[in-house]
């Protein structure tokens, strides 16, 4: 959520920023917001004047009665006011409701370095790390590797849960847990506090952490309950301090969360996406930070550095892209994606996403920072980055580390988490 004061004081700054997204409907909403906000303030003023009159009369009545005099004339005058107040009040509230509604639907201000573009081809490559292995045999897709080794069962999963689900078996299930443990240990060593969050959230909390469109497109709702399955551990970590004031001396708060992630939308199917590339459920280790506004750009690079260090240790070639205006979404001011090399598809694919949401997400959640009782409270910045989403990471490992004989080598850093195992083998 944007600061309404910023919109009042510097509407052109907001307009110019929004123009970069080339979204006419949002621009119209902004203009409506500016207009309705002015009307709301006028309406509020009139309503308040009436309430002031009522309060004054009320006080006089109380005093008159206390001194034993007759207050019936004052009471008769006062009796007219509530009707007028009710009329003005409902008008004021209607305007305010609309103002808030628009405010919730406007996107964050973009950082100046975000590239402008109409689709993801405009994403800007920031750097490339590593070189794809030279492979002189016919590459298999991750799904057929896993199936032929007996390490995954997609058909039975589809029968009992539908497409987009999976059974992982034996060493592949172990690899999943190894990736989680590796990422958690890596970040705990760097002083991030491990969080195991709730896997479901109420709507009121969820509206603060994400785009309203996600409710229709992405999230699973529990039937008959006000509960949604989380799409990422980012969400419960962000909402953790909803409606609170964080003691400024404790910032920055650095967390590493672990959770399964549930998502309805899985997109296109195909021979290379059969398996665990696009799924309704996957495990993910996620980084999250609350910090002072001055520190967020430094910490943004720290989060990105953490994840790159892990993918380097895993020996997976990747590139980093600066995500463009059409692809960045509503919350982030800037976003880096890591795209790992998928040899079978012969292209880079997204495996992590690092966002600086500046004060936008915290304001939606009504989180402030400062000292209790002091005047200078402000809105903290929030940042999030994937550490490792195990599903995509496993696809990358299966494809990049596959051998001519159909086996898969285990990346060295993961072996301590797999009982020293160097090769994935049939159960």
Shortest distance, position 66 Cβ to RNA, whole Å: 7
Kindly state whether residue 56 participates in binding RNA, applying the rule CB under 7 A: yes
In 72-186, at which residue ranges do the beta strands (DSSP E only) sit?
Answer: 124-129, 152-153, 167-168
373 is a site residue for RNA (CB under 7 A): yes
> Is 5 a residue that touches RNA (CB under 7 A)?
yes
Instruction: Tell me the window of 58-66, 261-269, 315-323, 339-347 that interacts with RNA (CB under 7 A).
Output: 58-66
Q: What is the DSSP letter of 352?
A: E
Q: Helix, strand, coil shares of the chain as percentages rounded to 5?
A: 45, 20, 35
Using CB under 7 A, which of 34, 94, 218, 245 touches RNA? 245
> Which 214-233 positions form the footprint of RNA (CB under 7 A)?
226
Residue 62 binding RNA, by CB under 7 A: yes
- State which residue, 51 or 319, has the beta carbon closest to RNA: 51
CA distance 128 to 318: 6
**Residue 11 CB, nearest approach to RNA (Å):** 13
Examine residue 57 and tell whether it contacts RNA (CB under 7 A): yes
Task: Tell me whether residue 127 or residue 372 sits nearer to RNA (CB atom).
Answer: 372
CB atoms within 10 A of CB 153: 15
Beta strand pairing call for 245-247 and 347-356: unpaired
Annotate each residue in 78-117 with x if it binds RNA (CB under 7 A) or - if it does not, as one string. Answer: xx-xx-----------------------------------
Cβ of residue 238: shortest distance to RNA, in angstroms?
18
Closest CA to 259 of 227, 281, 290: 281
Tokens of 262: 């549930």
Alpha-carbon span 368 to 384, nearest angstrom = 18
Among 22, 42, 203, 406, the residue binding RNA under the rule CB under 7 A is 42
Interactions with RNA, residue window 262-291 (CB under 7 A):
none
The token pair at 427 is 């159960």
- The verdict on 41 binding RNA (CB under 7 A) reads yes
Based on CB atoms, which residue is closest to RNA, 24 or 73?
A: 73
Nearest one of 20, 4, 239 to 103, comparing CA atoms:
4
Backbone angles phi, psi at 326, to 5 degrees: -80, -15
Q: How many CA atoms lie within 13 A of 30 on its CB side?
A: 25
Which residue ranges make up the site for RNA (CB under 7 A)?
Answer: 4-5, 41-42, 44-45, 47-49, 51-52, 54-59, 61-62, 65, 75, 78-79, 81-82, 226, 245, 371-375, 377
């Amino acid at each position: 959520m944007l600061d309404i004061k910023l919109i009042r004081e510097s509407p052109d700054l907001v307009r110019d920023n929004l123009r970069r997204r080339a979204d006419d409907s949002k621009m119209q909403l902004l203009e409506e917001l500016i207009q309705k906000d002015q009307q709301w303030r006028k309406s509020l003023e009139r309503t308040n004047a009436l309430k002031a009159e009522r309060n004054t009369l009320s006080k006089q009545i109380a005093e008159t009665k206390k001194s034993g005099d007759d207050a019936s004339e004052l009471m008769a005058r006062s009796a007219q006011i509530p009707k007028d107040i009710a009329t003005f009040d409902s008008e004021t509230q209607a305007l305010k409701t609309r103002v808030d509604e628009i405010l919730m639907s406007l996107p964050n201000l973009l950082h100046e370095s975000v590239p402008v573009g109409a689709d993801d081809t405009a994403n800007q490559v920031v750097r490339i790390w590593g070189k794809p292995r030279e492979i002189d045999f016919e590459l298999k897709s991750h799904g057929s590797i896993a199936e032929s080794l007996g390490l995954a069962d997609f058909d039975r999963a589809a029968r009992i849960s539908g497409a987009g689900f999976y059974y992982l078996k034996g060493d592949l299930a172990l690899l999943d847990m190894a990736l989680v443990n590796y990422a958690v240990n890596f970040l705990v060593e760097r002083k991030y506090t491990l969080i195991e969050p709730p896997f479901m959230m109420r709507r009121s909390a969820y509206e603060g952490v994400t785009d309203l469109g996600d409710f229709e497109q992405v999230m699973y709702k529990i039937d008959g309950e006000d509960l949604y399955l989380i799409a990422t551990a980012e969400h419960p970590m962000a909402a953790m301090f909803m409606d609170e004031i964080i003691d400024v001396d404790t910032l920055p708060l650095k967390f590493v969360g672990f959770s399964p992630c549930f998502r309805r939308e899985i997109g296109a199917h195909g021979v290379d996406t059969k398996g665990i590339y696009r799924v309704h459920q996957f495990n993910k280790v996620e980084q999250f930070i609350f910090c002072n506004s001055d520190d967020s750009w430094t910490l943004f690079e720290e989060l990105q550095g953490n994840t790159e260090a892990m993918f380097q240790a895993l020996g997976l070639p990747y590139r980093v892209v600066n995500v463009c205006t059409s692809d960045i979404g509503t919350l982030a001011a800037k976003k880096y994606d890591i795209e790992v090399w998928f040899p079978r598809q012969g292209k880079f694919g997204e495996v992590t996403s690092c966002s600086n949401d500046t004060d936008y997400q915290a304001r939606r959640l009504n989180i402030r920072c400062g000292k209790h009782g002091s005047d200078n409270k402000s809105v903290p910045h929030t940042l999030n980055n994937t550490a490792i989403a195990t599903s995509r990471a496993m696809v990358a490992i299966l494809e990049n580390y596959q051998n001519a004989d159909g086996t898969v080598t285990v990346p060295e850093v993961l072996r301590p988490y797999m009982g020293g195992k160097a090769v994935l083998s049939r159960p």
